[in-house]
Structure 1
Amino acid sequence: MMYFVRIISVAIAIVSFLGVVFGSHDGSTTFGVLKKGARLLHKEEIVVPRKFFRVVEKKINFQPQLHKISAIVITDNSESKGGKASLLEGGPTANFAVILFKSARNRGLNFTLEIFDVAPDCFRCKTSG
């Protein structure tokens, strides 16, 4: 009997640990590398109200630009932190991006999207060193 109690206790501890480790994802994501000197190309607040027992989705198309993208920083501003963002096309090293925002069931979207270009090369660094 004690053997089964130990097995059940260990199973509950493992499930609790995994819930803490994998359940604490806050929804904030960074694609690429944000380097010093990179300029902000685009900033947008993505806010969509919740729908009763539904998942809310919104697709953002960042049209082609002259500059290449170095980083995309997405911050989840909601209290529930249940949403996520996925890069569908383009992104870092490209000059466009298609991003899909998806909420948890019965939650809305509240994200900040920031897109940065490639930092310019330092002319002085190349000539002096």
Structure 2
Amino acid sequence: AADLAPPLAAPVPLDADQAARTVSQWRNAAAPPTAVCAYNDEVALALLAGMRAIDLSAPDDLAVIGSDDIPAAAFAVPPLTTVALDSGSLGADLAHALQRSLDGEPEDFSTLRPSVHVIERRST
């Protein structure tokens, strides 16, 4: 990890043409990124569309991972690797913890951890 550059945060519009311009700017940088972890799957899908518009492909030219595992992620070109959050499980854990707290039991909400997992597809 010592060889990695610090992460760069950059806005990416939800428009293929503007996303293509953003990717082009990244590619022309002195140290272009090799991977992008998008804020969510919609942003990742815009990046994939922008990349196709300028004849780049994931993961060969730039690896792309999203977050949310929306249904469209599986149908992207290429299918989008994404991080899925088990929000149902987290909601149930929060509800139980809240009920225990309301019942007067000491509760440490900071110990609650969401269940997340990577859905590996072909964009990384």
TM-score by length of 2: 0.24
Larger Rg: 1 or 2? 1
The structure in which a higher percent of residues are strand is 1
Which has the bigger relative contact order, CA under 8 A and spacing at least 6? 1
TM-score by length of 1: 0.24
Structure (1 or 2) with the greater helix fraction:
2
